[in-house]
Amino acid sequence: MKDYLAIQHMLSDSSSMFFFALGSNGDWLSELHPSKMTCRAIERLPEFFDESIFDAMICFSNHDYISLFKDKTSGVYLGLIIQENSMDEELNGCQTMIGYVQLMYVLINEAKLDLSRIQFLERDMIRNMSLSQQNLEFFFRKRIENHEQSFVIETLLIDNIRKGKIANIKSLFMEFKQRNSEMIFADKTVDVTIKSICLIAILTRVAIDEGVLPAKSFLLSDSLIRLAMQQHTAVDAMVFVESIILRFTELIHKNHLETMPMSINQIKQYIDSHLYEPVSLTDIAKFMNYSTSYVSRLFKKHMQITVGEYIIHAKINEAKLLLAYTHKTSLEISSLLAFTHQSHFIQRFKELVKQTPHQYRCAYQTNDDIDLSELILRL
């Protein structure tokens, strides 16, 4: 309830927006219910919300835009009402609602909400607006394609943040800026600021997942959110986004150094930088100037897996990226990652992923026009 009231307070400056919470039993949560007339319309929305396919709903009505999504922890339905007469134009209104829904979803469920997972209800009413249904569907399709491309960059960026690779991060950030130029909110400064807050929420969870104490992670998060709200121009806000990324990278990297012997981090870095070459325990021992038996015992003690298992896991994770975001064949990928034979690559992939490379590609490959092999291999 405390988190819900915090969101309501965040939106309280606008007289055209109203945040609401509807209990799983159909009862309205105290202090978080709209007018009686709107209540009757919203109470029926869960009947049309297909949770097996969608994570959120946006309903277009004659007078309002109404959104709905579920708090995965409490089961409470949450949403926002935006009055149509507060919109400059329908497209901006739709973009604004999508932006607020994605922001609220991240804050409540600590996970990103993809545009393709939003259900749009009462689409026939769109035909009466100045924006045609055909144009709206084209707009959504382009947004989804853009999200697919930016998702690749975000995946690579977070992976490099985990590994503390500053040079790669700076290169990826340039790609990130280019592919995230599309605005959700009409005001560019507000748009970048809201996105930066979403990024802080995601990286806070990444830091905790990497072993940083929650207290340290949330302390940095709170500090950065306050600073994000103080950026006065879109340029300043975007510069601050890079600062957010670098601050979390430093926090994670410092924690790795403090909690893991330097020799273990050096071994991991060596493996990660030689994924596209044959790499063995002997190679690592030579690099570290230790005996193979010492490296083997040390690594197993701190990582709970053998050096050989770590190498295979790292190569298979890289293969998953190549399968999802490039057009390279399994044969090409097995050769690139220095597997002795394609059959060995397929066997190990199936053991770890529980799918063949072909099945994984069919399930996760993005739009056919997207091939980011040059970017992935460059890193």
> pLDDT for 248-304, tens place per residue?
998 988 887 777 788 888 898 899 889 999 999 999 999 988 899 989 998 988 888
Average pLDDT over residues 123-129: 39
Distance CA 82, CA 103 (A): 15
Both 234 and 118 in one domain: the answer is no
Distance CA 86, CA 195 (A): 22
Please, which pLDDT band fits residue 213 given cuts at 50, 70 and 90? confident
Model confidence pLDDT, tens digit, residues 131-160: 344 444 444 454 545 555 566 677 778 888
Stronger pLDDT, 32 or 286, i.e. the higher one:
286
Query: Is residue 179 scored above 90 in pLDDT?
Result: no
The structural domain count of the chain equals 3
Mean of the per-residue pLDDT values of the chain: 77
Both 2 and 71 in one domain: the answer is yes
* CATH assignment of the domain containing 35: 3.30.450.30
Query: What percentage of the chain has pLDDT greater than the value 90?
Result: 17
Domain ranges, residue 238: 132-259
Both 199 and 269 in one domain: the answer is no
Both 369 and 308 in one domain: the answer is yes
The residue type found at 156 is L
Distance CA 310, CA 306 (A): 6
* CATH assignment of the domain containing 288: 1.10.10.60
Stronger pLDDT, 267 or 211, i.e. the higher one:
267
Q: Are 89 and 130 in contact (CB under 8 A)?
A: yes
Both 265 and 302 in one domain: the answer is yes
Q: Which long-range contacts (CB under 8 A, 24 or more apart) does 273-279 make?
A: 275/314, 275/315, 275/318, 275/337, 276/336, 276/337, 276/338, 276/377, 277/338, 278/338, 279/311, 279/338
Query: Is residue 217 scored above 80 in pLDDT?
Result: yes
Q: Are 342 and 330 in contact (CB under 8 A)?
A: yes
- Closest CA relative to residue 333, chosen from 291, 287, 375, 373: 373
Q: What is the pLDDT of residue 128?
A: 38
Both 119 and 191 in one domain: the answer is no
Please, which pLDDT band fits residue 96 given cuts at 50, 70 and 90? confident
Distance CA 247, CA 242 (A): 9
Both 54 and 162 in one domain: the answer is no
Average pLDDT over residues 336-356: 92
Q: What is the pLDDT of residue 277?
A: 92
Residue with tokens 């998060």: 221
Both 255 and 160 in one domain: the answer is yes
Say which range, 74-78, 129-133, 184-188, 358-362, has the weakest mean pLDDT: 129-133
Length of the chain, please? 379
